[in-house]
Chain A
Amino acid sequence: MADSVQHPEMEAEVVIVGGGPAGLACALHLARLYAAQGRSAENILLLEKGRALGAHQLSGAVMDPRGLRALEPEFASDPELGAIPVEDDALFLLSPDHALRSPVTPPPLHNHGNYVVSLNRLAQWLGAKVEAAGVSVFPATAGRELLWENDKLIGVRTDDKGVGRDGRPKSNFEPGYDLFAPVVVLAEGPRGSLTKQLLARCALGGANPQVYSLGVKEVWELPANRFPAGRVYHTLGWPIPPELYGGGWIYGLGGNRVSLGLMTALEYADPATDPHNLFQQFKTHPWMRALLAGGELVRFGAKTTPMGGWYALPPLAGNHWLLLGDAAGFVNSQRLKGIHLALESGRLAAEAIFAGALARYPESVRASWMHEELWPVRNFHQGFEHGLFAGLANAALQMATGGRGLHERYPSVPGHERMRTITTLGDPPPRLTPDGALTFDKVTDVYHSGTRHEEDQPSHLLIADTDICNRRCTFEYGNPCQNFCPAHVYEMVFDEHGAKQLHLNPSNCVHCKTCDIADPYQIITWVPPEGGGGPSYDGM
């Protein structure tokens, strides 16, 4: 796109990038603080790349109510939200053909007092309150670039609309806006594209690198009375290889629906590892097969989640910016919960913005229950780096020592560095061929994610050097992009000379960010496509 494009400008007080629980909580609380002073919230801007608020929201989800209660004390009784109290929870250990119910549910997986929610619905519900509070909400709008004046962050540029595949403006071209504000709040969720720009430019990071898991999820409708609303099951073991971190879930959503999914750490050695295929295998376990018999796939989605914990948190605030929720890395990997932390980080950020003292935000996080919850599990994830059994032993040890374990900080490395070249490995892990009834291929699943993009636009997957893909990677790692992408965006096809060549299907992309994270050469950069593109996670 030519540099001569004139970008319309808008002055704002705060620009919030991302309409997940973190961004929405920040907007809502700040608007209410403004309202108490009779100030209009019109110049608080919130950008969300999804077609509508909630469209890109996918979670499990069992929610710890602490975060939401601080904002909306009466949430549990609002039928519009439809939060379901957890009635029953259990942990199962899976071997290829047995499911062993753990006689006790370990305390971190106790969910009594928590709620089963749809994050998509929660975002719509909070979003309606945010709009009613007068915040300027811009759906279908992506933050595309940070704006700097020397080393001072001064705002955000939004995505250009109406650019053709060839990079040229179409007749309906609309240039992105330059939004100038003294405070930029990054609430982009895991691996945010602006967050990545910020951390790279300012050379910031945590004590440990951030590491991620990919969650692949389906919603199923089951015969009546098969799985009650509010039942929460977690699984460990098969089909996740024993040396890898991960596990499954089944949550009863009510209306005969269940949420089921599998988390796979993006820290594996074998490039043939395919988290989507592992999830399909998970459903073929005899115990799962019986549960799902007679049921029907309703929705599909996939999303990453940061797992590094406290030691992977980058600095949370600068002079003109704040990092919230998953963009910072506030997930309790032991409990697989981040919604409450995202909401609370948004609320605390709003307090700091309102006080005109951004540095208060990290201080208040440290003084809050967020720190109290995350500090004792600061080494939990790293303890699993040698697999399930070492991890469980470490977890027990850490629990006995208040989180410290054998040493104060267990180190970790970025997940992609663990990947090994194919010649150093034995046979690839078994793959399942989908049957189209219980198990599905990626394309069928993507259809159930409601994903859609403007077709005539430049690819939003920037690959620094496709020669690496077509020549080096084919021989060294066997093009793991085909395996780790849960949406069949990456495909190796044969060209006319019989050589393998990378072919992209960007329109399939469900915005999970796995490729940006897991590529062993780190040459894939995920940037937001034209605003409004992506999945439509109704009820997820």
Chain B
Amino acid sequence: MKILVCLKQVPAKDAPLKLNQAATWIREDVSFETNEPDAFALEAALRLKEAHGGEVVALTLGPARAAQVLREALAKGADRAIHLDAGEAAAGAPPLDAFAIAEAVSRAIAGESYDLILTGLQSDDAGYGQTGVILAELLGAPHATIIMQVEPAGERRIKVKRELESGNFQFVEMPTPAVLTIQSGINKLRYATLMGIKQAKNKPLARMTLEEIGASAGLNRQLVHRLFVPSKSKGTTLISGSAKEQAAALVAHLRNDAHVI
């Protein structure tokens, strides 16, 4: 199987975030890491390759720093990588929207035939959850989301397990090529070994700019006008009366003010 894994570099989970001056995005002065569900997508791809043979190609779209997620993917066992270089203007700017990313990816891989394209379920920064789905649409391929398991099911077919709400699952058989968006926590991530890190240096890492592939990126259809930090407020209200009155007042409060029931 020839598998493409799309990885995004996002601000590290525990990074103390601050808004930029115009409050359109966060400041660059944090460390970055591979988007969590994408790491599980890579792990799923590597396991499929180990079990059934084939090739794993890692792809990212982002500024120069984003190439780090590719080096890590290569160190863990991806065969080669593609860096869609969004230029340094992309660093610190609000992220491209899901359509712009999907369009750029579809152009970058035009002419290559992948059996499977895996993305994470959503990104930890923008959280659109749409990139993989739009990419499938642009490629004219079927897709399935929130995937927990993938296995081959005969010639050009796979069987996947989707997570539904309240602990239910759906099993779907579908044709390939297909795009799957992968859920976090579905497998145990491997560590890059020292040998893997050393060998990664000699694996091919292709770089292409958005202009080179003719992507219209930058033309975000969805614009971030302003971000707000949720303001935390704490207040204590003492409810008096009989137990019955107190209970009724509490329920009314939870329903009408806190909107939790």
Chain A residues within CB distance 8 Å of chain B:
8, 10, 42, 51-52, 55, 136, 138, 140-141, 158, 161-162, 170-172, 174, 177, 179, 221, 298-299, 447-448, 450-452, 536, 538-539
Which of B14, B33, B194 is A451 in contact with, Cβ under 8 Å?
A: B14
A299 touches B198 (CB 8 A): no
How far, in Å, is A56 (CB) from chain B's closest CB?
A: 12
Q: Which residue of B lies closest to A171 (CB)?
A: B188
| Contacting pair A162 B191 (CB below 8 A) | yes
Q: Chain B's interface: helix, strand, loop or mixed, by majority?
A: loop
Q: Are A447 and B197 in contact (CB under 8 A)?
A: no
The answer to whether the Cβ of B253 comes within 8 Å of any Cβ in the partner chain is: no
Chain B residues with Cβ below 8 Å from A162 are 191
Docked CA distance A539–B190 (Å): 29
Of A136, A172, A451, the residue contacting B191 (CB under 8 A) is: A172
Give every chain A residue within 8 A of B13 (Cβ-Cβ). 452
Q: Which residues of A contact B194 (CB under 8 A)?
A: 8, 10, 138, 141, 158, 177, 179
B18 at the interface (CB under 8 A from A): yes
Contact of B16 among A172, A179, A447 (CB under 8 A): A447
A140, A170, A298, A536, most chain B CB atoms within 10 A: A536
Q: Establish whether residues A299 and B188, one from each chain, have CB atoms under 8 Å apart when the complex forms.
A: no
Are A136's CB and B198's CB within 8 A? yes
The reply to whether the CB of B193 lies closer than 8 angstroms to some CB of chain A is: yes
Residues of B within 8 A of A136 (CB): 197-198, 201
B15 touches A536 (CB 8 A): yes
Query: Shortest beta-carbon distance, B199 to chain A, in Å?
Result: 10
Task: Kindly state the interface size class of chain B when it binds its partner.
Answer: 20 to 34
**Distance between A390 CB and nearest chain B CB, rounded to angstroms:** 41
Q: Output the least CB separation between B33 and chain A (Å).
A: 8
Looking at the assembled complex, report how far the CB atom of B85 sits from the nearest CB atom of chain A, in whole angstroms.
17
Contact with A along B17-57 (1 / 0, CB 8 A): 01000000000011101000000000000000000000000
* B14 surroundings in chain A (CB, below 8 A): 447, 450-452, 536
- Asked if residues A161 and B188 are in contact (CB atoms below 8 Å), the reply is no
Q: Kindly state the separation between the CA atoms of A8 and B191 in the bound complex, as whole angstroms.
A: 14
- Neighbouring B residues of A447 by C-beta, 8 Å: 14, 16
Q: Does A161 lie within 8 Å of B191, measured CB to CB?
A: yes
Chain A min CB distance to B77 (Å):
13
A10, A161, A299, A450: residue with the most chain B Cβ atoms closer than 10 Å? A450
Q: Which of B12, B193, B198 contacts A42 (CB 8 A)?
A: B198
The answer on a CB contact under 8 Å between B195 and A10 is yes
- B74 CB to closest chain A CB (Å) equals 14
Nearest to B189 among chain A residues (CB) is: A172
Given the complex, which residues of B lie within 8 Å of A158, measured CB to CB? 194
Assembly CA distance A52 to B31 (angstroms): 9
Say whether B18 contacts A298, CB under 8 Å: yes
Cα distance, A447 to B175, chains bound together (Å): 46
Nearest CB of chain A from residue B39's CB, rounded to whole Å: 12
Residue of A nearest to B32 (CB): A52
Chain A residues with CB under 8 Å of B12's CB are 450, 452, 536
Closest to B193 in A: A174
Chain B 186-223: CB-based contact to A (< 8 A → 1; otherwise 0) = 00111111110110010000000000000000000000
6 A-B contact pairs sorted by A residue (CB < 8 Å): A8-B195, A171-B188, A174-B193, A448-B16, A450-B15, A451-B14
Distance between A180 CB and nearest chain B CB, rounded to angstroms: 13
Query: Once the chains are docked, how many angstroms separate the CA of A91 from the CA of B13?
Result: 39
A51 to B34, CA, bound (A): 12
In the bound complex, how far is the Cα of B195 from the Cα of A539, in angstroms?
31
Q: Which of B160-192 contact A (CB under 8 A)?
A: 188-192
Residues of chain A within 8 A (CB-CB) of B15 are 450, 536, 538
Within the complex, the shortest CB–CB distance from A531 to chain B, in Å, comes to 9
Residue of B13, B14, B188 contacting most chain A CB atoms (<10 Å):
B14
Separation of A270 and B76 alpha carbons in the complex (Å): 50
Cβ contacts under 8 Å, B33 to chain A: 51
Are B198 and A8 in contact (CB-based, < 8 A)? no
Q: Which residues of chain B are within 8 angstroms of A10 by Cβ–Cβ distance?
A: 194-195
Given the complex, which residues of A lie within 8 Å of B16, measured CB to CB?
298-299, 447-448, 450
* One of B29, B188, B193, B198 near A538 (C-beta < 8 A): B29
User: In whole angstroms, how far apart are the Cα atoms of A179 and B13 in the complex?
Assistant: 32
Q: Which residue of B lies closest to A537 (CB)?
A: B31
Query: Which chain B residue lies CB-closest to A172?
Result: B188
A389, B237: Cα distance in complex, Å: 55
